Amino acid sequence: MDYYFLLFAIMAVGAGIFTITVKDALPSALGLLTVFIALAALYLHLHAPLIAIFQVSIYAGAILVLVVFVIMLLITPDEALETAQKNISYRAMGAILGVYLIALLIIGLKGINQLVAQKSLPEGFGKPSQIGDLFFRKYILHFEISSVLLLVALVAAIYLAKKRA
Amino acid sequence: MNQMNLAFDLYHLWEVCGGQMILIVAGLFLILVDMMLLHKDVEVRGKWLGWLTVFIFAATIGHMACREWELHDIVFMNIFSADKFSIFVAIIMACSGMLVALMSIGYLRNNRLMNGEYYILLVFAVAGAIGLVQSVDLLMMFLTLEVMSLAIYGLAAFLKDSPFSQEGALKYFLLGSFGSALFLFGVALIYGFTGTLNITEVAQAISNGTYQSLPLLTAFALIIAGLFFKMAIVPFHMWTPDVYEGAPSVVTGFMATAVKAAAFGIFMKVLFVTFTPILATNGQPDFASTVNLSALNPYWKPVIWWGALLSMFFGNLLAVSQTNIKRMLAYSSIAHAGYMAVGIIAANGEGRTGVLFYLFAYTLMNIGAFGVVYIIDGVERKAQELDDYRGIGYRYPTLAFLLSLFLVAMAGLPPTAGFIAKFYVFSAAIKEGYFLLAALGVLTSVIGAYYYLRVIYMMYMKEEIREVVRGAVAAPTVVALVITALGVLYLGMLPEKLASIANLAQQSLAMIF
Amino acid sequence: MAGINDYIILSCILFGLGVIGFLTRRNALILFMSVELMLNSINLMLVAFSASMADMGGQVMVLFIFAVAAAEVAVGLAILICLFKHAKSVDVNRFNLLKW
Amino acid sequence: MNAPILTYVTFLPLLGVLFILAVPQRDEAGKNVIRGIALVTSLLTFLASLRIYAAFDPSVAGFQLLEDHPWIPSYGIHYKLGLDGLSFWLILLTTFLTPLTILSTWRAIDKRVKEFQVALLVLETAMLGTFVALDLFLFYVFWELMLIPMYLIIGVWGGERRIYAAIKFFLYTAVGSLLMLVCIIGLVYFHYDSTGRMTFDLLQLYGTHIPRNYEIAFFAAFALAFAIKVPMFPLHTWLPDAHVEAPTAGSVILAGILLKMGTYGFFRFAMPLFPQGSAFFAPLIIVLSIIGIIYGALVAMVQPDIKKLVAYSSVSHLGYCMLGLYVLTRQGVEGSVLQMINHGISTGALFLLVGIVYERRHTRLIKEYGGIARIVPIYSTIFLIVTLSSIGFPTTNGFIGEFLILLGAFKVNKVAAVLAATGVILGAVYMLWMVQRVFYGEVTNPKNLTLTDMNLREVAYMLPLLVLIFWIGLYPNFFLKKMHTSVDHFINQVKIEQTSQGSQMASIHEVPGIEAATVSMAKE
Amino acid sequence: MDKYIFLIPLFPLIGFLINGLFGKRLGKGIISFIGCMSIAFSFIVALFIWKDLLSLEPEHRVFTQTLWEWMSVGGLKVDVSFMIDPLSMLMILVVTGVGFLIHVYSTGYMWEDESYWRYFAYLNMFVFFMAMLVLGGNYLVMFVGWEGVGLASYLLIGFWYQGIDNAVAGKKAFIVNRIGDFGFVLGMFLMFWTFGSLSYLDVFPKALELFEHGSLALNSPVLIAICLLLFIGATGKSAQIPLYIWLPDAMAGPTPVSALIHAATMVTAGVYMVARTNVLYTLAPTALLVVASIAAATAFFAATMGVLQNDIKKVLAYSTVSQLGYMFIGVGVTAYWAGVFHLMTHAFFKACLFLCSGSVIHAMGGDQDMRHMGGLAKKMPITYMTMLIATLAISGLPPFAGFFSKDEILGKAFAFPYHPLAGKIIWFIGTVGAGITAFYMFRLIFMTFHGKFRGTEEQKHHLHESPATMTVPLIILATLSLFGGWLGIPELIGKLFGHVPNILEGFLEPVFEHSSRIVAQYGHHVHVAEPVEWTLMATSVVVAIIGISLAFYIYMVRGEELPKKLAERFAFHYQVIYNKYYVDEIYEFLIVLPIYYFSIFLWKVVDAFFIDGIGVNGPAWLVKRTSAGARLVQNGFVQTYGAFMLVGIVTLLCFFIYR
């Protein structure tokens, strides 16, 4: 049994459940952070150190901080915000649908290990240099487009956030 | 040349993705212009930017139609293809962008909102959309989809002072992310099974019989779901009315046409290249394995059957009880998605031709309709209720006539493009024996006729109950309306030319390999 | 060594959790985070595939997904802030001016 | 060979539309100019259609004056026009009635004159196109095209419940015709499957081999579309509403021509294309026609509104047309075609007449009138003559049609003929009762005392109708002559297919004789 | 002259058109001139043609003229054609002759009327259509006239349309006639599909030929059907049971109209038609029996109804119905010529009676109630005398015209070759009816012309003899009533005076020769011995005298109290008969009202509620309601939308996985 995987898997699931059930947004963000870190650990295990680092730095460090920042910005302490749908049946329906989806996905993806090619990893697999190499060869167009993507996001976000001209 | 420095042939890129490149470069240029152009008068600046955008789109269309249309070496780096199908759809979207840009000049002025970001986002949205239909790489699809989507989130939320616009945008955003996640999940799975992201390679990889393995079907289902969201097929349509109602009218026109075209284009591309590949009728079919060509038919066909039927049914049904014209048109766009899906289900050349034709025709009539709507509106949400349209026919006869024309076209009555488009898709379905679907479809279009006609009778047969003052009519809008109106009539009477082009375009789907 | 199946199941569960969160919470920000959870589950899957197939492509994809996630969050939050100005709330149940 | 006369006739009204659009309608003078242009255009169309009369060769069974140009080649869709003895008179009827209608609107339509005349002229083009189109697609285009102008005519210039009536008219017709479109396409693909040729050309599609159950279904869809237009019995309820609410001109066009498109559709499309389906449904259609005849007459009898009465009488009259068509004897079919023209003339005239008093009194309720014969003698005389025509009085047109239809029907189905003939009695009952209540007795309503009699313009547009009423009544051969060969052709077309399918329809060579009669008597 | 047959209907047509189109602007003199002269010309043309006809051998006495081909469709070929043979010759002479007299009379009678022009237009139109009916060379042209005279009748009954009752009566006449025409038309259809033609000259030879070839049996169902259907038409036009009800109401029209249309000419069209179709009827004895039976019943019941009428014209109306019954008895017992003979004499005396009553009404200032009259004989001697002659004629007293014709009919009925027993019954009924006829006719005479005047002073003051335009026709008609019967003196009486020939029978013989031959061949040979014949003749005279005496006793001797007493004594019978056996009411209750309410039901319930409400607006309503309901799903909550998407994807996955 792969305890390393089991540990972080349980941690990720537990933190995920915490994220979606906890009352306030801030603890929820902390829960998400935990998920991220657990996943980062798994990434390391999967020979993806660079991803793991980025996971911590970009996701946890940038995106989540942004979210937390907005949480602080938007939720004034005196506003009592109900966290979940009041209507139990509504919540139950969402949960059931979600669980059903999980079940279906798991059933649907049964036998995936036969489909996925399983090769032994070459030497130095997952080194950042490999990624960089791919970035500038095979994925250069994606890279360009993602820069456009970020530019678009920037334009949109700036327009929306800035004061009316 | 140092290979490390230049990983690809720039000239080839220009050949294949010239349209995108023009748009992206022009978008950057627009950002610069927007910042540099220090003209005091916002209106003048907005107008200039608008015309510039129009010019950019015109150049894009011209470029794509003249150069990329006739390419031989059509695939670039296994990522973008310039097959006629993609270019055709791209041209539709660029046309949509141009018409919307034309109208936006007037719209933004009427709403006192002359920010340059609008045009920038519009250009990038079209760039993303074109990238989407051009891509044969699933990751690139996702990225360009996101480029398009993000730009459109921005556009949908463009009325900063309007809670409606913001709310619509937020809903769109939330559900859109959800939809993208589904799509991405599917993409990731496909990557997992095949080790590749290129749709032709995927097709080859799964042609060995993995077609019917469960995981692949699951991935297929997730991709369908993600694209259905963008196509607004029931039950993935729920965002449509809210977003269309909230978004600025011209943006709604854009969303209903360009985004829909992109979604349908990429859906057909994925479907007919990867999952149910069609064979080249001329040229050389590179794809040898013909054994499993239609193995997936029993899976996706019923899905689209029901999706089309439900879309036609609910779209038309719910439109009946709407009082807001934009919301009504939103529901009608769901119904139109259903009609187009009828063309897809036929899975034959006529059907694909029909869908392409339908997209083009729908672009013309829908943008035209939203153009009239925004003019009558004056300022967004000032006069959108159907009651506001009472007596418009005599107050503003030309506008009313145009709106009637567009609505009649949407209702599918001759001699308009809408009729021919419906004819094409339904005849394709009938050719494959889908009588029931066709019959039910035309019956739902009777419901459709009811609410389109309701607008017409409001305009011509009811006395007005309150004085509606239309907004200013800008010259570019007039140009756009004239183009759309003439286009609707022209395509209604002489559809053959466009149809044969569309036919060429759909045939090229077989040539991507 | 955990097999590919285990990672897939884990990522399915996480994806499902994201979906459940998306459907059951009212706080728009938590909805955002649920979406992030979904994207992360996909990332995990991709990395697992990548490791299994010894193909770096999966890892590269993850990086792009990071970018997308960042961009999405940026735009999403911007819209939310804008909307907050009108609605004075981040409760998605309050956002129903547009309906029927 | 020579000038495309059918195209000219069909699209001439649109030329008038262009001129009308150029005229402003700010003042009365402008309106009069518009009316004038419309009238002149329609008269020119009528004159042009006389060229058709000159060029028409009644000895040819097939289609004549053909024009054929590819339109949408990839689907085998052509711009193909032509006519035969069956459509010939309907075309002339259309061009003949339109000027009269326009003349009748001179004063009645005072608002939005330009739009009205445009709608009317567009409608004329659509109607003519429907009658001359020999390509199913083209036919469908014209068929649908006429919906919008008619919708507007009813909805904009109509009475109180005009919107309800207009939408009902539109949707009702649309339901049928859209299903028909589906089946048109289906038929084309069946043809394609058997011949490998895509074509919407009617002539090529005749005789397409279709599986029997499909043929029945296709016929049902076609029949639905046409039966709605006719209108046949349970599908008739749009008609009274549309008639009552439509302005006079609308009612005239509606009754005079639009309803004929239903019957025309039957004999041009539904029956020859799907003879088996037609045979399958023939009993039903005959029964429904008879129900329509009697039902329409009975319901007409108790209507309080003159227009509604006339509308229901249309249901009855068109029942005769359908019956005549479906007995498939020469007399029946020719009577049916003639009855279509008759109905156009006499019911058109009745609507014009109702319009005349409506214009003066703004009511169509029978009880508002009474005893006006003394006040408006010319009007009542003409009304009486038209009434006679409507109830099939010999020497008027109505008699010839009904006689031929019933004669034809009698041969095939005696019970049907007897039941249908009761409609003749009922027709007299409701029309004469109405005449009595409107024209005879003392003047009970003082408002009627100031009624003015018909003016010159009104007489002018009634006179041609009166002339035709007697012309057809006294010398129907003039009209029948033109259709003999086409009718024979039609019957052959429909029947040979059926007999080859073992239908028990009698042979077409109906040499009347004692043999047949004695045999049938012996059976009883 | 046969080229000019068309002139006979043409003149009245021209008269109609001139009077109808321009009459309003013409003077009354010109109108009268045109109106009368058009008929006179027709009469003259008819006379000339008659002369030509007589110049031919009896068996070749047929003129035909075809104007144009009317309809020709498939096997159906109908021409607008005329045929003159002795039968139609006789009819047209009666029509134009009596018609002319009545036109002349009308100039006096209608002089004061404001719609004088309209009256003459209608009257001319009537003669036109009557001429078409009589002269038509085929059944369809006959039918044109048949319906045409119905129209004229409709218009003339409702001539004074301001009185709504008149208009209603006109409409009733038209509709009842239409019911008859319904039968006529069906008869024509059956005839056409049996014989392949509608022309007299085709149908009858063809029928005979088929009969002789044995492919058409005597009394074959198809023949019976044709004859009975045609007879339905005749019952309508000629006011036989059950369609006689319109005729009494038709008296609402001007009196000359009653004389011309509802006594002398139009109502006899049925008789003419049966006589014309004699070949077919002869081949269908059952049909004949039906005709004769219905005719006998009509003759009797109508006579009883005439007994108690107080309206002078109603009495005459019922008497007309009754006399028409006699004519039908005649044609029904194969004595076609006798029926036609009675038709002719009836035309004379009944026209005379009506015109006389018109004269009386004229004098009474429009009052028609006999209870207000009395003692008019002194004031209006010419009217009295002429009316008396006519009454004697109708009562069947020799040597007046009615005696010969009626006696001939009853005698032939007694010897009905197809059904001797039925013939005797019919004879008995007819004879009794003749007595009743004599009774009520003399009741009319006594109540009107004898005794004391019972009207108002003003009427009394006003009483006068009518002008010459009215009296001259009366005198002519009375003369004809007196001598007209001598054209058909029976053999028996003829022998007494040394072989006086039966001119009329001889004249008409060619028309009926085939029938006579068939009857002789296939009928029973009923030999009526000479004494029996004399007895029969005497019986009818005696019966008539009894009737007259009874009338004299009741209305002259006992004055006024006996009728009242009788009325009280037989209150029920009196009421039933006075109200014409409640036939109108029964029709109203059994046919008219049910149809009316059924129509209301169809309209309100079937049409408005079921078809339109549920069938048409139902789906529309459903769509609207579902739409209004279904839109609530779109509740604006983003999570609902997400849930729907999720349902979609879950369904999709389920389908893909478990398909």
Taking the domains of chain C in order of start, what are their residue ranges? 4-88
Nearest CA in chain D to B437: D182
Q: What is the DSSP string of E256-325?
A: HHHHIIIIISGGGHHHHHHHHTHHHHHH-HHHHHHHHHHHHHHHHHHHHHHHT--BHHHHHHHHHHHHHH
**∠ CA C64-C68-C71, rounded to 5°:** 140
What would the two tokens of residue E212 be? 């002789």
The one-letter amino acid at C86? H
Q: In chain B, what residues touch E640 (CB-CB under 8 Å)?
A: 238
User: In terms of Cα–Cα distance, which of E309, E171, E321 is closest to E241?
Assistant: E321
Burial of D392 (0-12, 13-18, 19+ CB in 10 A): buried
Mean pLDDT of chain B: 87
Nearest CA in chain B to A109: B215
User: How confident is the model over E115-138, as pLDDT tens digits?
Assistant: 888 888 998 999 999 999 999 888
> Quick one: pLDDT at residue B1?
37
Q: What are phi and psi of D305, to 5 degrees?
A: -115, 130
Q: Which stretch of A69-83, D364-378, D451-465, E209-223 has the lowest confidence by average pLDDT?
A: A69-83
D329, D480, D512: residue with CB nearest E196: D512
Q: What are phi and psi of E68, to 5 degrees?
A: -155, 165
> Quick one: pLDDT at residue D518?
44
Cβ-defined contact of E646 to A101 (cutoff 8 Å): yes
In SS3 terms, B5-43 reads as CCCCCHHHHHHHHHHHHHHHHHHHHHHHHHHHCCCCCHH
> Closest Cα of chain E to B103: distance in Å?
29
DSSP D507: P
User: Was domain A3-121 assigned CATH 1.20.120.1200?
Assistant: yes
**Dihedral angle at the C-alpha atoms of B382, B383, B384, B390, nearest 10 degrees?**
170
> Closest Cα of chain D to B411: distance in Å?
11
- Could you tell me which residues of chain E have a Cβ less than 8 Å from any Cβ in chain A? 639, 643, 646-647, 649-650, 653-654, 656-657
The reply to whether D155 touches chain B by the CB within 8 Å rule is yes
Q: How many domains does chain B have?
A: 1
User: How confident is the model over E389-436, as pLDDT tens digits?
Assistant: 899 888 888 788 888 888 888 888 888 888 888 888 999 999 999 889
Examine chains C and D and say if they touch (3+ CB pairs below 8 A). Answer: no
How many whole angstroms separate alpha carbon E230 and alpha carbon E191?
A: 10
User: Was domain C4-88 assigned CATH 2.60.40.10?
Assistant: no
pLDDT over 80 (residue A81): no
**∠ CA E339-E343-E345, rounded to 5°:** 115
C36, A115 contact by CB (below 8 A): no
Over range B107-133, report the average pLDDT: 90
C17, B157 contact by CB (below 8 A): no
Residues with Cβ within 8 Å of D468's Cβ and at least 6 positions away in sequence, in order, are: D96, D345, D397
How many whole angstroms separate alpha carbon B188 and alpha carbon E499?
A: 129
Report CA-CA distances (Å) from B319 to B238, B383, B459, D166: 13, 18, 18, 20
Q: What is the DSSP string of A39-67?
A: HHHHHHHTT-HHHHHHIIIIIIIIIHHHH
C98, B239 contact by CB (below 8 A): no
B342, B412 contact by CB (below 8 A): no
Over range B487-503, report the average pLDDT: 90
> Could you tell me how far CA A86 lies from the centroid of its own chain?
27
Domain boundaries, chain E: 350-578, 584-658
pLDDT over 70 (residue B432): yes
Cβ-defined contact of E637 to C24 (cutoff 8 Å): no
Q: Grade residue D2 by pLDDT with cuts at 50, 70 and 90.
A: low
Over range B277-291, report the average pLDDT: 54
Domain boundaries, chain D: 5-523
E624, E638, E648: residue with CB nearest B320: E624
C35, C55, C86: residue with CB nearest B166: C86
The reply to whether A142 touches chain B by the CB within 8 Å rule is yes
Domain membership of residue B277 as a residue range: 3-511
How many whole angstroms separate alpha carbon B73 and alpha carbon B52?
A: 31
B403 versus B43: the higher-pLDDT residue is: B403
Over range D169-191, report the average pLDDT: 89
Q: Grade residue B5 by pLDDT with cuts at 50, 70 and 90.
A: very low
In SS3 terms, B83-103 reads as CHHHHHHHHHHHHHHHHHHHH
The reply to whether C62 touches chain B by the CB within 8 Å rule is no
D194, D211 contact by CB (below 8 A): no
User: How confident is the model over E451-461, as pLDDT tens digits?
Assistant: 888 878 887 88
What would the two tokens of residue A67 be? 């979210």
Residues with Cβ within 8 Å of D132's Cβ and at least 6 positions away in sequence, in order, are: D6, D9, D10, D81, D82, D83, D87, D91
Burial of D194 (0-12, 13-18, 19+ CB in 10 A): exposed
User: In terms of Cα–Cα distance, which of B170, B248, B337, B327 is closest to E631?
Assistant: B327
Q: Which of residues 206-235 of E touch D (CB under 8 A)?
A: 210, 215-216, 220-222
> Quick one: pLDDT at residue B36?
81
Q: What is the DSSP string of D78-129?
A: EEEEEE-HHHHHHHHHHHHHHHHHHHHHHHH--SSHHHHHHHHHHHHHHHHH
DSSP E243: S
> Closest Cα of chain D to B34: distance in Å?
45
pTM for the structure as a whole:
0.90
Q: Which stretch of A42-56, B203-217, B326-340, E184-198 has the lowest confidence by average pLDDT?
A: B203-217
Mean pLDDT of chain E: 86
A88, A46 contact by CB (below 8 A): no
> Quick one: pLDDT at residue E335?
85
Q: Grade residue E552 by pLDDT with cuts at 50, 70 and 90.
A: confident
The one-letter amino acid at E572? F
Examine chains A and D and say if they touch (3+ CB pairs below 8 A). Answer: no
Q: In chain C, what residues touch A116 (CB-CB under 8 Å)?
A: 4, 49, 52-53
pLDDT over 50 (residue D507): no
Report the share of chain A in percent with pLDDT over 90. Answer: 17
The one-letter amino acid at B443? L
Cβ-defined contact of E636 to C22 (cutoff 8 Å): no
How many CB atoms are located within 10 Å of the residue D349 CB? 29
Cβ-defined contact of E164 to D303 (cutoff 8 Å): no
E213, E151 contact by CB (below 8 A): no
Residues with Cβ within 8 Å of D28's Cβ and at least 6 positions away in sequence, in order, are: none
pLDDT over 60 (residue E507): yes
How many whole angstroms separate alpha carbon B199 and alpha carbon B139?
A: 10
DSSP D363: -
A145, A160, A165: residue with CB nearest B147: A145
How many whole angstroms separate alpha carbon B109 and alpha carbon B477?
A: 12
pLDDT over 70 (residue E368): yes
Q: Grade residue C43 by pLDDT with cuts at 50, 70 and 90.
A: very high
Burial call E520-558: b when 16+ CB within 10 Å, e when fewer? eeebeeeeeeeeebeebbebbbebbeebbebbbebbeee
Cβ-defined contact of E171 to D432 (cutoff 8 Å): yes
Determine the residue among E626, E638, E639 to mutate to test chain B binding: the one whose Cβ has the most chain B Cβ atoms within 10 Å: E638
Cβ-defined contact of E657 to B174 (cutoff 8 Å): no
How many whole angstroms separate alpha carbon C40 and alpha carbon C65?
A: 9
Report CA-CA distances (Å) from B511 to B285, C50, E217: 7, 30, 85
pLDDT over 60 (residue B388): yes
Q: Grade residue B148 by pLDDT with cuts at 50, 70 and 90.
A: very high
pLDDT over 80 (residue B62): yes
What would the two tokens of residue B405 be? 């024309």
> Closest Cα of chain A to E613: distance in Å?
40
> Quick one: pLDDT at residue D122?
92
What would the two tokens of residue E267 be? 């109502």
- Matching residue, tokens 């599918």: B412
How many whole angstroms separate alpha carbon A165 and alpha carbon B35?
A: 13
What would the two tokens of residue B368 be? 């035209």
How many whole angstroms separate alpha carbon E277 and alpha carbon E191?
A: 11
Q: Which stretch of B296-300, D511-515, E435-439 has the lowest confidence by average pLDDT?
A: D511-515
Q: Grade residue B279 by pLDDT with cuts at 50, 70 and 90.
A: low
Q: What are phi and psi of D246, to 5 degrees?
A: -70, 150
User: How confident is the model over E256-298, as pLDDT tens digits?
Assistant: 888 888 888 888 889 999 999 888 888 888 898 999 999 999 9
